[in-house]
Amino acid sequence: MQAKHQILVPVDGSDFSRQIIPYIREFFGPAENEVTLLRVGERPAGHIGGPERPVAPESDIVTFGSSQQTAEALHPIYASQELASAAAEMTPFLQSIAHELEDVGYTVHTAIRFKHESGPAIVAYIDNHDVDLVAMTTHWRTGLGKLIFGSVAQYVAQHVNIPIVMVKPMAEV
């Protein structure tokens, strides 16, 4: 039995990015293809209080720089908690698409990555996994819009050596 082709579908949590799914279903059947849904999010920061300081050089009593720092030190929120919370917020969107594809026979995997920019995160995922094809929507901005907002799809296209299916849906939802 021949291994299935691996299709990577980067989504950003918007209905716009979800519009690639009908094209996958139409052109890439579930018998020959597996789908990985990739969501890239901004890395959240953890919050921890500043270090405590003695009130006097030889004192056992400590203080913090402000009441805010005192509260943060007594009830810290760590980066790992922020990451888990952010991933939990992204999961329902990924699962809704996964269930839609699984209902028609696809094997679906989901992945969440945290990085400042989506393009490099998508390329890094491709470099580290066995991906045969990328399928994604694009606004296909030009001119000033492209200069200001950039283009994740263009970045990916310039940095990978695998086929890419890019779709610009007719109407933005």
115 and 60 share one domain:
no
Q: Does the pLDDT of residue 23 top 60, yes or no?
A: yes
33 and 107 share one domain:
yes
36 and 84 share one domain:
yes
Under the banding of pLDDT at 50, 70 and 90, the label for residue 145 is very low
Under the banding of pLDDT at 50, 70 and 90, the label for residue 153 is confident
123 and 92 share one domain:
yes
95 and 51 share one domain:
no
Domain range holding 149?
5-42+78-167
12 and 94 share one domain:
yes
* Overall domain count for the chain: 2
Q: Does the pLDDT of residue 78 top 90, yes or no?
A: no
Q: Does the pLDDT of residue 147 top 50, yes or no?
A: no
- Position 173 in a domain: no
Quote the pTM value. 0.77
94 and 147 share one domain:
yes
138 and 54 share one domain:
no
pLDDT digits (tens, 9 = 90+) for 29-76: 999 999 999 999 988 766 555 555 666 777 666 665 555 554 455 555
Coil vs helix vs strand at 129: coil
Average pLDDT over the chain reads 83
148 and 93 share one domain:
yes
- Position 172 in a domain: no
Residues 6+ apart with CB under 8 A from 25: 101, 104
Separation between Cα atoms, residue 164 and residue 133, nearest integer Å: 6
Q: Does the pLDDT of residue 123 top 50, yes or no?
A: yes
156 and 112 share one domain:
yes
Q: What share of the chain is helix, strand, coil (3-state, %, to 5)?
A: 40, 25, 40
